[in-house]
């Protein structure tokens, strides 16, 4: 049995890159359904709050949680999969947080995605804010995850 890291208490946005690490990552997802999907890989924290000499970098987690808890899904967790409209909105979030040059929503896997567990395509290594590198060839798959709103 492989070791498992439960991200239930992790408060930020993260990317799980599938990789033969020997470690399984799991998070609660899907709103109050509390699904527990898992994936072997490497976990990379992304765009979370940090204070740097007069500059505050804010995580997109609040906006993502508000989207899934708000009018779009009303807390249901999108457990039946995402829509094209959801994918458009999530791609817009990625642009807003300077992630669209390395991530895009994997539209071929919308039905497998839900709140707090979104399948993405990793299209390149980060260059502006280098959080990860050396996982090419690109594009490759990944999962964007954050705290579930259950």
Has residue 40 been placed in a domain?
yes
The sign of the CA dihedral 50, 86, 136, 40 is positive
Has residue 100 been placed in a domain?
yes
Has residue 85 been placed in a domain?
yes
Residue range(s) defining the domain that contains residue 120: 4-145
Encode pLDDT of 108-126 as tens digits.
999 999 999 999 999 988 7
Entry pTM:
0.89
C-alpha–C-alpha distance, residues 15 and 7, integer Å: 11
Has residue 150 been placed in a domain?
no
Encode pLDDT of 96-106 as tens digits.
888 888 999 99
C-alpha–C-alpha distance, residues 135 and 42, integer Å: 10
Split into its structural domains, the chain has a count of 1
């Amino acid at each position: 049995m492989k070791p498992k890291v439960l991200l239930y208490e992790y408060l930020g946005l993260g990317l799980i890159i599938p990789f033969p690490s020997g470690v399984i990552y799991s998070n609660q997802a899907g709103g109050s359904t509390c699904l527990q999907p898992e994936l072997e890989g490497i976990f990379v924290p992304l765009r979370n709050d940090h204070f740097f000499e007069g500059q505050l970098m804010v995580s997109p987690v609040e906006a993502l949680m508000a989207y899934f808890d708000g009018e779009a899904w009303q807390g249901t967790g999108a457990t039946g999969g995402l829509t094209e409209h959801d994918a458009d909105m999530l791609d817009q979030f990625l642009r807003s947080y300077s992630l669209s040059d390395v991530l895009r929503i994997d539209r071929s896997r919308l039905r497998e995605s839900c709140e707090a567990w979104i399948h993405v395509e990793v299209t390149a290594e980060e260059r502006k804010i280098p959080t990860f590198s050396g996982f090419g060839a690109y594009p490759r798959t990944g999962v964007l995850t954050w705290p579930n709103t259950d």
